[in-house]
Copies of this chain bind each other. A is one copy, B any other.
């Protein structure tokens, strides 16, 4: 789970990168890095505004940046990765994961490659450096070798390359900004700063932006399979994928959820912020009033004083408004359940606040399979629905009832078919 951004031929590139990364901050809050002209680099743990405070380079005109979610890893694992090769100096920023990435790394090391990080993202650098031909050819050759999943930015002195894997699993957009180009994981981050003529980087394609113009190379013709979880949870509500609004898709997931699971209740309570769009759809379809039964304290973050006790953390973040839920039959709506721990605590909080019944509605199917393509790989283990029936999960979270959206319902809500749903169905894109 990451966000990437790039700029080419843009005045005050450092500020623009800052602003775009701020618009992608929801995709990763653990670390930030940017590399600009002359490969000047800032990296650090924390939020965009915390890390990108100093050492502004006012004359920068190009650069790439990265925000990362993963809590693991040390300083050398913060992207972009910068390297010196016979094809010149390069920096790369990567969103996605390569399935069996360790095998790729081992194979390259066997050939004598020296890695500077433990990231599978570095695989691209070594494949490029080892390929024959000029740099652009080498990039295309490297991309052809790695099946998925990547949205990738490569900065070189003479160009910025934006590439997307053959399935287009992870998002990538670009548009015009003055005389230059800005690239980002989501269109909403581009719109927010006034980028125009926004387009998707097509799947299986690399676009080279240089002072000579734009060059597009399609290197694969697989069928598109865009990550459905971006629609369900990960992306900003104001973003669009496959020409579909994320918020509208979530709203419809809520509507479909009620249609598949008609239920009687007094109040619909969203788990803020991820469940809000879906809860609105659920409320609209059911006629059950929506209310804020759980307030979110937005200042509670990754504090050093955070108790290890997860229940205490959640209780500081999500505070019940008793006047809303007391004595009521409550339907809590959230986008998904992964481990189940948080939902268990939410049910408990609502019961302690006096809710008479607590029903849990999830506007996506049960997550039964790990994602190998870039959605938090830490989720591989301990999926609460991994090998359990819904009824068992209901008992674990201690809800009066628990209901999910069906896979068909999900597809209807999104209204598009070119989706990767491997985490629900187990039908992976790779072998």
Contact = CB atoms under 8 A, between A and B. Distances in A.
B41 A75 contact: yes
A188 B105 CA distance: 43
Contacts of A105: 84
A125 interface: yes
Interface string A17-52: 011001101100000000000001100000111101
A140 to B, nearest CB: 17
A320 interface: yes
A212 interface: no
A303 B109 contact: no
A274 interface: no
A134 to B, nearest CB: 14
B247 A321 contact: yes
Given A238-B321, A247-B321, A292-B247, A22 B299 contact: yes
Nearest to A118: B84
Contacts of A49: 299, 301-304
Nearest to A188: B319
Given A116-B84, A323-B245, A284 B289 contact: yes
A76 B19 contact: no
A290 B277 CA distance: 10
A83 B49 CA distance: 30
Nearest to A50: B50
Main secondary structure on chain A at its contact with chain B? mixed
Nearest to A276: B292
A100 interface: no
A112 B114 contact: no
Counting chain B CB atoms within 10 Å of each CB, the highest count among A110, A292, A321 belongs to A321
Interface size class of A (residues with CB under 8 A): 35 or more
Given A238-B320, A323-B247, A22 B297 contact: yes
A84 B114 CA distance: 6
Interface in A233-277: 236-238, 245, 247-248, 251, 273, 276-277
A106 B84 contact: no
A280 B290 contact: yes
Counting chain B CB atoms within 10 Å of each CB, the highest count among A50, A56, A82 belongs to A82
Given A192-B319, A277-B292, A295-B247, A18 B237 contact: no
A9 interface: no
B115 A47 contact: no
A324 interface: yes
A305 interface: yes
A126 interface: yes
A411 interface: no
26 contacts: A19-B305, A41-B75, A41-B76, A48-B303, A49-B299, A52-B305, A53-B304, A82-B116, A83-B115, A84-B115, A84-B116, A85-B113, A86-B113, A111-B112, A112-B130, A114-B122, A192-B315, A236-B319, A238-B319, A238-B320, A247-B295, A247-B324, A273-B298, A276-B292, A280-B290, A284-B289
